[in-house]
């Protein structure tokens, strides 16, 4: 959806070419899912460009057809589709005789050279996240967070799978997919060769049975991958803060992001310590899991995690805003002898929230609803670390692909609030998975 908003604004940067400007209005075209997030998004961009907002008008939903006879309006509408927000400022300057366009100066500056230099360094950082890592971890490798041999390769076409195009997402906040080689997909420099080979051998070289050890290792790798990614993100945001000067709105926004990532990293570190302790003592009985076994060749492979906030009926499970130890659940795809599995795993310390989440999924099945619709919705909205079968993705209709990307964009939009029913109303019939059986940790 696209919203049109109007605001009365005043210059907050004391720019010389605006000294005589008065009665300034900002006209904003915003691509957003609801009017609340549209206001938040437009507010950020207006403040970023050096204006203080005096008053907003109520946002109205608009379409492209409404601007076909207005060149300037059509231009900004189209820009909002690719840039998510486009703003036109109109003001009155009594010292000029006729209207003119001015290039606005801004005190905000961004040292791109320094930022990209720092980010290149961050991207090349390597570490071994094994609990017993030490000086002998001298060969850090590009480890797969999703099994390559029987998972990525099983859905590949000519050695390639579809992955989210992160460059496009970072530049335009829009989601699309691009082909990527299986040897590159899902890798991260988070383990040394020795620990990666020895630790994950039961899941890299063997199909899922399942066992508690296998469930534990799938969970441990998901947590390690997410921790590695979060640590890189924190360094990247800090680099942006150091490279950006002169704008309070941008600094406030970046500091808010930094605080959020730091909180998420703290929670991951707390949970990983529990897994480290269990792993060191080989206490695989500390793991809880539920594995849904499917017959057919997978259409997607993935490795992710969530802090269950709402269940599949829209009920709140835990408050993610409270600074406490959050319950964590991982979910992964895993190859089996005759198909594949969607496996949920969690540490016994997270049993209360995670059991409630799984009971909610059980309610879905008892109600006769299609389990695969709910599982796919969970994965696609909560797991950036996934790969899609090229044959399956290319077989979707254009409207189906567009809806999926739109849903993911909404979930990734930092200006939008997560709705309590985001798992309760899945798209129907996007995937056709044939459930063969269910296994859980009580059976092993």
| pLDDT at residue number 194 | 95
Q: How far apart are CA 328 and CA 320, in angstroms?
A: 11
Contacts of 441 (CB under 8 A, 6+ apart): 212, 215, 287, 288, 289, 290
| Secondary structure string (H, E, C) spanning 231-256 | HHHHHHHHHHHHHEECCHHHHHHHHH
| Structure confidence at residue 409 (pLDDT) | 86
DSSP state of 417: P
> Which residues of the chain fall below pLDDT 50?
none
Measured CA to CA, the distance from residue 364 to residue 424 in angstroms comes to 9
What b-and-e string marks burial along 255-265, b requiring 16 or more CB atoms within 10 Å of the CB? Answer: eebbeebeebb
Q: Which residues of 87-117 are buried (b: 16+ CB within 10 A; e: fewer)?
A: bbbebebeeeeeeeeeeeeeebeeeeeebee
pLDDT score recorded for residue 241: 82
Dihedral (CA of 320, 326, 332, 337) sign: negative
The predicted structure's pLDDT at residue 423: 96
> Helix, strand or coil for residue 385?
coil
% of the chain beyond a pLDDT of 70: 92
Q: Which two tokens stand for residue 88?
A: 């036109």
Reported pTM: 0.88
Question: What is the predicted pLDDT for the residue at 119?
Answer: 64
pLDDT at 102: 66
**Quick one: which of 344, 93, 118 has its CA closest to 241?**
118
Locate all alpha helices (DSSP H) within 247-397, ordered by sequence. Answer: 248-280, 351-366, 371-382, 390-395
The tokens describing 120, both together, are 């290149």
Q: What are the tokens at 292? A: 């849904």
Tokens of 131: 């609990």
- Residue 341 · residue 436 · CB < 8 Å: no
β-pair partners for 21: 93
Q: How many CB atoms lie within 10 A of CB 82?
A: 12
Residue-level pLDDT at 16: 74
Distance (Å, whole) CA 221 – CA 225: 6
Task: Supply the pLDDT for residue 236.
Answer: 86
C-alpha span between 266 and 41 (Å, rounded):
28
Residue 132 and residue 191 in contact, taking contact as beta carbons nearer than 8 Å? no
Whether the CB-CB separation of 405 and 176 falls below 8 Å is answered with yes
- Give the angle 92-17-253 at the CA atoms, nearest 5°: 95
CA dihedral angle for residue 368, residue 370, residue 371, residue 377, rounded to 10 degrees? -140
pLDDT at 118: 63
Contact by Cβ (8 Å): 244, 254: yes
Residue 18: alpha-carbon gap to chain centroid: 40
Helices (H), 62-111: 71-83
**Which residue ranges does the chain devote to CATH 3.10.510?**
2-93
Structure tokens at 319: 């408050």
Structure tokens at 425: 């109303």
Provide the pLDDT for residue 97: 67
Q: Sign of the CA dihedral 418, 420, 423, 428?
A: negative
CA-closest candidate to residue 298, choices 389, 227, 400: 389
2-93: what fold?
A: NE1680-like fold (3.10.510)
């Amino acid at each position: 959806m696209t919203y049109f908003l109007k605001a009365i604004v005043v210059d907050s940067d004391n720019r010389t070419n605006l000294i005589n400007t008065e009665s300034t209005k900002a006209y904003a075209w915003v691509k957003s899912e609801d009017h609340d997030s549209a206001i938040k998004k437009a507010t950020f961009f207006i403040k970023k460009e050096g204006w203080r907002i005096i008053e907003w008008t109520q946002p109205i939903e608009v379409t492209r057809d409404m601007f076909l006879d207005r060149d300037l309006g059509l231009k900004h509408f189209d820009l909002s589709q690719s840039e998510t927000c486009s703003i036109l400022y109109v003001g009155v300057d009594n010292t000029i005789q006729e209207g003119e366009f001015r290039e606005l100066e801004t005190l905000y500056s961004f040292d791109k050279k320094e930022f990209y230099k720092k980010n290149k360094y961050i991207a090349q950082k390597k570490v071994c996240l094994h609990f017993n890592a030490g000086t002998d971890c001298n060969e850090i490798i590009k480890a797969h967070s999703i099994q390559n041999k029987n998972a990525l390769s099983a859905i590949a076409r000519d050695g390639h799978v579809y992955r989210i195009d992160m460059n496009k997402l970072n530049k335009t906040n829009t989601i699309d997919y691009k082909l990527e080689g299986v040897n590159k997909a899902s890798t991260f420099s988070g383990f040394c060769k020795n620990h990666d080979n020895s630790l994950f051998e039961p899941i890299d070289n063997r199909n899922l049975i399942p066992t508690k050890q296998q469930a534990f290792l799938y969970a441990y790798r998901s947590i390690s991958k997410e921790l590695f990614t979060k640590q890189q993100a924190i360094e990247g945001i800090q680099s942006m803060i150091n490279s950006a000067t002169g704008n309070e709105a941008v600094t406030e926004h970046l500091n808010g992001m930094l605080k959020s990532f730091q909180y998420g990293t703290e929670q991951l570190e707390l949970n990983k310590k529990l897994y480290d302790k269990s792993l060191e003592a080989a206490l695989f009985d500390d793991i809880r899991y539920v594995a849904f076994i499917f017959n057919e060749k997978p259409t997607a492979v993935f490795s992710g995690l969530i802090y269950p906030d709402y269940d599949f009926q829209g009920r709140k499970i835990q408050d993610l805003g409270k600074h406490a130890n959050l319950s964590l659940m991982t979910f992964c795809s895993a190859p089996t002898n005759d198909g594949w599995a969607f496996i949920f795993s969690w540490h016994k310390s997270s049993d209360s929230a995670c059991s409630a989440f799984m009971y909610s999924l059980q309610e879905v099945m008892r109600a006769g609803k299609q389990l695969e619709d709910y599982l796919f919705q969970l994965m696609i909205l909560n797991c950036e670390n996934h790969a899609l079968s090229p044959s399956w993705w290319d077989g979707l209709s254009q409207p189906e692909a567009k809806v999926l990307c739109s849903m993911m964009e909404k979930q990734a939009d930092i200006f939008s609030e997560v709705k309590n029913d985001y798992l309760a109303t899945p798209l129907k019939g996007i995937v056709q998975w044939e459930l063969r059986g269910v296994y859980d940790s009580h059976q092993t």
